[in-house]
Amino acid sequence: MTTLTLTGILVVFDDINDTTSSVGPATFTAQFPNAGSVLNYTLLPGTEPGDLPLVDIGGTEPLSAFVNGVNVLDNDDIETSLGFIQTPAGTHILLAFFDPVLGVDAFFQIGGDPLTLPTTVAQFNDFNDSITNIGVASGAFAPGVDIPITILDGEISGGDLNLVQGTDGDDFLTGTAGDDLIVTGNATPNGDTVVGSAGDDTIDMSGIDGVNGFVTIDYGALSGGIDVTIDGAANTGTVDKGAAGTDTLLAAPQATTHSTSPPKANSG
């Protein structure tokens, strides 16, 4: 898989006194199927004057996305913003994540003219005062435009995954000997079957609607045993296949908890 890493700042606000409490480093990491993945977005209503535009991020579905270890992909409280700011240093494109529960904002530059982000409260206040304009980005970062992750001001690492794409019907999906991204889609009460294989694979079951469909994961073709761990809180799981690799399960509890026939991890 391909990992995008962005470096930015984490700002904690004091809503009672309307001040900035602290400024520290922030790291955004997202895993994508391959280096050809893209982001796009649509504008959402409700942006306050003087704020970056609220957006709904689309494009290639990331396998995971974290800010300082906090999952921002499956957190409905997180507000995502993307737009431009203008300072004496030029025009800068920023991506931001705001947690209204904690009063924490994370800012990351993804494009535009070079910008040195502040590292202290005093520097942040000066930086905030230096902003002369803010709004909707245009050009390569405009709403509705596919933005390759490779042009963002971050670090790209890792390789590509072989995509094995399912449908919203009942599928029999077989991995390859390499690293696979197996996307099940939804299923009927008959369920999908995924045949486990060698490689560090990702099995994405987020398409299961939790009403009828389920997934059977069959590792019977492997020569050795497996060790399965499900994390219900994180909605993920791992399958340690020994020398054959390690699989990552996405939306595993959703595919298991809400089905009449729970998925099985067959080790032979």
Q: Name the pTM for this structure.
A: 0.66
Determine the distance from the C-alpha atom of residue 199 to the mean position of all C-alpha atoms in its chain, rounded to a whole number.
22
Per-residue pLDDT reduced to its tens digit, 240-262 = 999 999 998 988 766 554 333 34
Which amino acid makes up residue 237? G
Does 267 score more than 70 pLDDT? no
pLDDT of 145-167, one tens digit each?
A: 999 999 999 998 877 778 888 89
The CA distance from 75 to 248, in Å, is 20
Alpha helix stretches (DSSP H) within 71-177: 121-130
What CA–CA distance (Å, rounded) separates 71 from 234? 8
CA distance 232 to 49: 39
Residue 211 predicted with pLDDT over 90? no
> Mean pLDDT of all residues in the chain?
88
